[in-house]
Amino acid sequence: MRILFLDQSGKPGGAELCLMDIAKPYSDRSLIGLFADGSFKDLLQQNHLPVEVLTTQKIKVSKESNFSQGFKSLRQLLPLITKVIKRARKYDLIYANTQKALVVGSIASFFARRPLVYHLHDILSKEHFSQTNLRIAINLANRFASLVIANSQASQIAFIKAGGNPDIIEIVYNGFEPKLYQKSESDIKQLKQQLELEGKFVVGHFSRLAPWKGQHILIAALAQCPPDVTAILVGDALFGEQDYVKKLHQQVAELGLENRVKFLGFRSNIPQLMAACDLIAHTSTAPEPFGRVIVEAMLCRKPVVAAKAGGAMELVEHGMNGFLVTPGEPQELAQVITTCLQEPEITATMASNARNTASQRFDMTTINQQINLLLSEKVNI
């Protein structure tokens, strides 16, 4: 099966990291077309995946745009669409990863007469999108997609609720390679030394810095925890959220937490950094569509506390393999952090359960087989 993958982003967010893993088995017959240049292209090349930056022109459409802005963006997209139609003729299938790729992929699939698969990584709700953008996504998916792959039940339910056709959507979770998340004690010790985290109880937060990812909730919680609790914030503002970054630094200063919060920026050694933590916190204030970091923490055998909404509720079973807390409630989070600090045996058992279930449920080989089957059966090529 020859696949033309399309992705809008120049930077590696969760949807892009997921796409990279899906594309690997098809690397000798496929192309990943990007709508922006940047570090995601470099990452794909490092992984020996064929990639082409199809445009370097900035596509001006935000998650909140209205109809006339949407129409203007469509005109802007014409050169890109023409290019994609040309490329698509050499492939059996167009695989659109997220919304902008869906727009371009839909039109290209019509003119190039190629089936379209749409990988939905978002909860299509008013909390995350404008009414216009929701309508565009749903109408295009219903009209052009042979198959929609939802990254969770939460994303599937929102798609159907917004008017999406229930007959074309299937849930496939993100896949992971469990062995990448096992680190030796000596590696962990060395990293803790380098980061000056020895002897501290370390809560890790791994996410791009964006208001709805809720790093401010963790900082507020930290102020209510015993003083030996420290936090590392791993991730950068990938999509221009500089004001939020400033606010986070201000919050840390106002609470006098400069010695207890470390901003580590974007890192590519996530398994090592997670291994150096005692607890991983996920604090999204809006429902998380899936939440790769939650599964990664489980695979690292680390206790995880997640905001109780969206996909996170499909990943964590409270009290069995992790903790769920009310989104946006620092006090509740602080209580869980303190429990983990005081009762390491209980949390270690949970983390062990988490590793076992996550290795089975999210095993990349199985997930990729599932996708291959869906593409072959539904798309019929």
Window 196 to 255, contacts with ligand UDP (CB under 6 A): 206-208, 234-235
Among 173, 290, 323, 362, binds ligand UDP (CB under 6 A): 290
User: Is 293 among the residues that bind ligand UDP (CB under 6 A)?
Assistant: yes
Site mask, ligand GLC, residues 168-197, x = CB under 6 A? Answer: ------x-----------------------
Residue 151, contacted partner among ligand UDP, ligand GLC, none, CB below 5-8 A by kind:
ligand GLC
- Least distance to ligand GLC from the beta carbon of 164, Å? 17
With respect to ligand GLC, which residue has the nearer C-beta, 14 or 204?
Answer: 14
User: Is 115 among the residues that bind ligand UDP (CB under 6 A)?
Assistant: no
Contact indicator for 334, 341 with CB cutoff of 8 Å = no
DSSP type of residue 56? -
Beta bridge partners of 379: none
Determine the Cα–Cα distance for residues 56 and 35; give it in Å rounded to an integer: 7
Site mask, ligand UDP, residues 22-51, x = CB under 6 A? Answer: ------------------------------
Torsion angle of alpha carbons 27, 32, 38, 44, nearest 10°? -10
Beta bridge partners of 31: 4
The count of residues interacting with ligand UDP (CB under 6 A) is 18
Among 41, 100, 205, 292, binds ligand GLC (CB under 6 A): 292
Tokens for 185?
């004690």
Helix (H) or strand (E) holding 295: helix 292-299
Tokens for 239?
């999509």
Determine the Cα–Cα distance for residues 286 and 132; give it in Å rounded to an integer: 20
With respect to ligand UDP, which residue has the nearer C-beta, 146 or 368?
Answer: 368
How many CB atoms are located within 10 Å of the residue 66 CB?
Answer: 12
Residues that bind ligand GLC (CB under 6 A): 13-15, 18, 121, 151, 174, 288-292
